[in-house]
């Protein structure tokens, strides 16, 4: 007879004697005492259930409060030691050079053009000689990932080495970013919000960030890299030039001179309605968000920023009304600049043809992202110069081809 049956029979036995009537609470207490007794016996003679609970591993540690300075410092130091240990586990430059030497020494002929190859047998030999830090890279899974159409069943040595380098760089970057994660929760934080470190590692801008490790990076590359000092100075210089009254903030009229100074007033109104401003003026942080979105309109986050401005009815989609609302401002600028008018109906049809939304009458943010035409669509609606460039794209391409032909002739 198991403990469940004993408990059932014991509880089913009627109360007898002079005090046979018990309160409901007494019956519940008696039931719990019996359950604890028989359950402990069934689990191996434990004296009480507290001993059983002690065997459960601890999985939660609360963060130190703001006034627990000592605990905070201890946590920071322990995290720093942990990250340093993780950093030492990564391949350094000398070890990477040694790995390249071993791979080159064990290449498997014949070569494909100038590309050295290696088969699985030699791949494993290199893994044995490369040391414990490299063990994670020399697996059948990694080899299969890089195996394509080689008739000898080999992989490219250069592709494999680039794979290892990329992994090492990613881990180095994660460790470096984690040093700024004071709370140790996997986020980088600032007053306006937070961003997950894993999202940073997965974003398309990480290559630009890693590019800055190259001390011999050309000036042209630095100027086009958003994270470089020249790029930061360029954006800040633009901000200072726009700030005509030198109060450290931008009014709508000052922001209207951004770029080619051809953004519509309707769009600028929406910027100042939706973005964080102070007494109707924009600070540098808000300006940075604005510039990031406009300079990277192919990125989903940038499209989300602009889409929110275009969604004047806050419905989560753009319809004919909202498209017409913004394009009328483009038409007005065209009249001011003496350009031939363009029919909204034609533009509307082109936009829907480009995006091909799921709903033929509504364009969602996801529709814009999926179409890979979001940058073109948003430009058409907010910037006269951008619309003119789109309208005359065939002529501009032809002119470019003619100019390149003239250069070839010389």
Which pLDDT belongs to residue 43? 59
Distance CA 98, CA 231 (A): 36
Is residue 405 very low, low, confident or very high in pLDDT (cuts 50, 70, 90)? low
Judge whether residue 11 has pLDDT over 80.
Answer: no
Which pLDDT belongs to residue 169? 86
Is residue 13 very low, low, confident or very high in pLDDT (cuts 50, 70, 90)? low
248 burial type by CB count under 10 A (0-12 exposed, 13-18 middle, 19+ buried) = exposed
Judge whether residue 3 has pLDDT over 80.
Answer: no
**pTM for the full predicted model:** 0.64
Q: Provide the 10 A C-beta neighbour count for residue 230.
A: 13
Judge whether residue 211 has pLDDT over 80.
Answer: no
Distance CA 69, CA 66 (A): 7
Which pLDDT belongs to residue 14? 53
> Comparing C-alpha atoms, which of 282, 305, 286 is closest to residue 374?
305
In the chain, what are the domains? 3-54 (no CATH), 74-178 (1.10.238), 235-396 (1.10.238.10)
Q: Which two tokens stand for residue 181?
A: 């994660």
Distance CA 29, CA 25 (A): 6
Which pLDDT belongs to residue 42? 61
Which pLDDT belongs to residue 377? 95
Percent of the chain exceeding pLDDT 90 equals 53
Distance CA 55, CA 50 (A): 9
Which pLDDT belongs to residue 6? 56
């Amino acid at each position: 007879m198991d403990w469940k049956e004993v408990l059932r029979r014991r509880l089913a036995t009627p109360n007898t004697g002079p005090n046979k009537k018990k309160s409901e609470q007494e019956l519940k207490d008696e039931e719990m005492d019996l359950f604890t007794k028989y359950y402990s016996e069934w689990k191996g003679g434990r004296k009480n259930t507290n001993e059983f609970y002690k065997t459960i591993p601890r999985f939660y540690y609360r963060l130190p409060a703001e006034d627990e300075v000592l605990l905070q410092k201890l946590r920071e130091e322990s995290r720093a030691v942990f990250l340093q240990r993780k950093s030492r586990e990564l391949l350094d430059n000398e070890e990477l050079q040694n790995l390249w030497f071993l791979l080159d020494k064990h290449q498997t002929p014949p070569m494909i053009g100038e590309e050295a190859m290696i088969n699985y047998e030699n791949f494993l030999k290199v893994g044995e000689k490369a040391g414990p830090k490299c063990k994670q890279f020399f697996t059948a899974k990694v080899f299969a990932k890089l195996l394509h159409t080689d008739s000898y069943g080999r992989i490219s040595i250069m592709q494999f080495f680039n794979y290892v380098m990329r992994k090492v760089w990613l881990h180095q970057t994660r460790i470096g970013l984690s040093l700024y994660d004071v709370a140790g929760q996997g986020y980088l934080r600032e007053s306006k919000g937070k961003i997950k470190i894993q999202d940073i590692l997965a974003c398309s801008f990480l290559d630009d960030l890693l590019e800055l490790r190259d001390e011999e990076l050309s000036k042209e590359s630095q100027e086009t890299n958003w994270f470089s000092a020249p790029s930061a100075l360029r954006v800040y210089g633009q901000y200072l030039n726009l700030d005509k009254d030198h109060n450290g903030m931008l009014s709508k009229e000052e922001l209207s001179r951004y770029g080619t100074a051809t953004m519509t007033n309707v769009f600028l109104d929406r910027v100042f309605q939706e973005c964080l401003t102070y007494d109707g003026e924009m600070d540098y942080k808000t300006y940075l968000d604005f510039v990031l979105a406009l300079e990277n309109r192919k990125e989903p986050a940038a499209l989300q920023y602009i889409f929110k401005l275009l969604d004047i009815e806050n419905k989560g989609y753009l319809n004919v009304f909202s498209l017409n609302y913004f394009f009328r401002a483009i038409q007005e600028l065209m009249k001011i600049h003496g350009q031939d008018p363009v029919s909204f109906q034609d533009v509307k049809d082109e936009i829907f043809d480009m995006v091909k939304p799921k709903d033929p009458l509504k364009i969602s943010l996801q529709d814009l992202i999926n179409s890979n035409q979001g940058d073109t669509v948003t430009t058409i609606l907010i910037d006269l110069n951008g619309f003119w460039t789109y309208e005359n794209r065939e002529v501009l391409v032809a002119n470019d081809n003619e100019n390149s032909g003239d250069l070839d002739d010389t």
